[in-house]
Each structure stands twice: as structure tokens, then as C-alpha cells.
Copies of this chain bind each other. A is one copy, B any other.
């Protein structure tokens, strides 16, 4: 069997990621390959680090893109910082907090959970109380919970974490480049993100950063990291340092080209202007959705502008309406996960998918579908 010509119908990506990629980013993907040890590629890695540092607001030397999607960035941070027997305090108020908790147990570390209902933030008082009962190596929390649309305030929890002598680990997969992320100011010791959300590059890499304090834990481990591929003690010889890089694995060259182009676009727009755009377009979507009878899951002050979790109005069937949006209008929105399945949609306004035109198309399509329902 030889498959036919690749010919997917183009979509407007308004789900939880991937988002639409800019034509310049797609063009970068098609750049002829160079080797992963070519001095030209080392330069690409250096430029990417410098731009990531600016967008993450950090001076961490250990800032690079893991050669796999965001879930691998999550795993990289946890398995490098935790050793068997360590305690880890994980804040869980959605799918991705749960995923961190799962990985902690696979590390042979002792899991301490702080839970909040889906759609609500983790309160600093909960973390303070939990820190009275354990001595964790790290406290981990999700900044932008992709399953619920919550934007978690970080500063106070970061302060409590440091007072307890722990490292502060943050999931910024959905938040980075959509809302402010200040790694150094907020005392974040390790942070991972994804390329396919507000950076609007194709999926396949996970930008991460680790503070010198976190790297000291990594280099001072008593046991080997359980993954060879994601062992930062080995990866460091390739991703940091000067011209003398040594081979670890073969980096995804094209994805690195695309990420570099996507970071250029973020900085050309300006970080603050980008946040303002996400807030403004979110406002338009919010007004339109509420008019149609959708209700936001998250209360106003804790909403991510780029990930809108909304309960469906009565009478609108989840599967039918999403199928019609996709098939008739080529618009993708995200289904609800877990308890939200069938009841909640996750509408993304991320990076290049965050435009007034996207909002207008979606609202008009919904009006049509709801009129016919």
C-alpha cells in the first residue's frame, strides 16, 4: 500500500493546541537539513537559548528545547530533580497536575498532593499547610492548566516553597508567551513549556529552563536519572557550552528551525503587546460566547485568556457540534477532559490563532449551528 498525496483540508486551530503556525514558521520547517553538530546548527541553538531567556525572563544558562513534546519536558524536570525516596509536593487541579503526580510515583519518590477542584486555583494557604507536614525536594504547580483554563498565581507559592528549602517547578506549557512568565523574579527553579501553544510553532519540542540551584541538584545526584534520553547530565554536553558540543542524540533540526522562527515572531511583536493582544481577543470571545449562553468554568480573575473553558448551553450536543464545526467550518475546538467530558469545551486563542477573525468565524459558525440545532 502506498498512501496517496498528502492533502489535509486546512483547519483553524482553536483547541488546546496545536495552534495555527505562522507561514514564516512553516517555511522554516521546510529549510533543507543541516547536521546536528554543524557549527551553523550550534549557532541556531545559541540564538534559540538567548531568545528563550528573554521570553522566559531568565538568565539561566540551562535554557534549551528538549527534543520531544511538552510531556517530555515535564518528565525531564521531574526525573532529573527527584531521586528515589525524595518527597515531592504536587499541586493538582486538573489533568496536568495529575500527570506530574503520576511521574513522581514512577520516580520512586514520595508523593504529597495538594488538591483543588477543577476550575479553581491552588490557594497558597493549602501549600503552606502541606509544607508543615513534609520536607519536599520540590513543589510543582501548573501555571496554565490546559484542562480547565485556570491561570495560577505563582509568586506567593514560590516564596513559601523557598522558605521550606524546596525547588519551585512550574508547568508553563500553555502560559508561556500568552501571559507573563517571570522565571527569575518569581523564583522559579525549573520550568517547561511546549512549542505548539502560544509560541505557535509545530509540536515536537519542549523549551525548558533550570536555575543554577536546580542544576546543582541534578549534577549532585547519588543515583542515575532513570532515562538516558532525558538525563540532563548527558544532554548538557550537547545543549550548553561553546562551540565544543558533544553528541548526545540527534536533535530535531527542522523543529529547531521552526522554533527559532516562532521566537523571532514573538519578540518582533513584543512580549507585552502579545499579552495585550491575548487579553483583548479573549474579551471579544468571552462577550460573544456569553451572549450565546456559554458559561465560563473559571471565575474572571483566574482565567487564562488563551484557553477558554466554557460549559455548553442547554440543548447543544457536544459531539455533534464539534463535528459540525470541524467538518463544515474547518474549525477545531477542544473537548472537555475527565469530569468535563461532554459538558465543557476548551477554546484556544493561542499565538497565531488569537485574532479577531478567528473569534468572528467561530461565533458566526456557532450561531449557525445553534440556529439549526
Q: A residues engaging B (CB < 8 A)? A: 1-3, 6, 8-11, 13, 15, 17-21, 26-36, 38-41, 44, 47-48, 50-51, 54, 67-72, 75, 79, 99, 102-103, 105-107, 194, 196, 202-204, 224-229, 247-255, 257-258, 260-261, 263-264, 267-268, 326, 332, 337
Contacts and interface: CB of A to CB of B under 8 A. Distances in A.
Given A2-B267, A10-B34, A35-B332, 17 more contacts: A1-B50, A1-B54, A2-B268, A3-B260, A3-B264, A6-B257, A11-B33, A13-B33, A18-B253, A30-B30, A33-B196, A69-B251, A106-B226, A106-B228, A204-B255, A247-B337, A255-B255
A75 B257 CA distance: 26
A29 B3 CA distance: 17
Nearest to A2: B267
A10 B35 contact: no
Contacts of A15: 35
Nearest to A100: B228
A201 B97 CA distance: 35
Contact of A250 (B8, B67, B69, B103): B69
Given A26-B32, A75-B227, A253-B18, A204 B40 contact: no
Interface of A, secondary structure class, is loop
Given A33-B18, A227-B226, A252 B255 contact: yes
A1 B54 CA distance: 8
Nearest to A268: B2
Contacts of A337: 247
A29 B258 CA distance: 10
Contacts of A34: 8, 10-11, 13, 332
Q: Which 6 A-B pairs have the closest CB atoms?
A: A204-B252, A68-B68, A3-B47, A30-B30, A71-B249, A202-B254
A264 to B, nearest CB: 6
Contact of A10 (B2, B27, B32, B41): B32
Contact of A75 (B2, B9, B10, B229): B229
B47 A35 contact: no
8 contacts: A6-B28, A8-B41, A13-B35, A29-B254, A33-B202, A194-B250, A204-B254, A226-B227
A27 B26 contact: no
A325 to B, nearest CB: 12
A35 B333 CA distance: 10
Nearest to A76: B229
Contacts of A2: 51, 264, 267-268
A40 B72 contact: no
Given A8-B31, A11-B38, A69 B252 contact: yes
Contacts of A72: 68, 229, 249
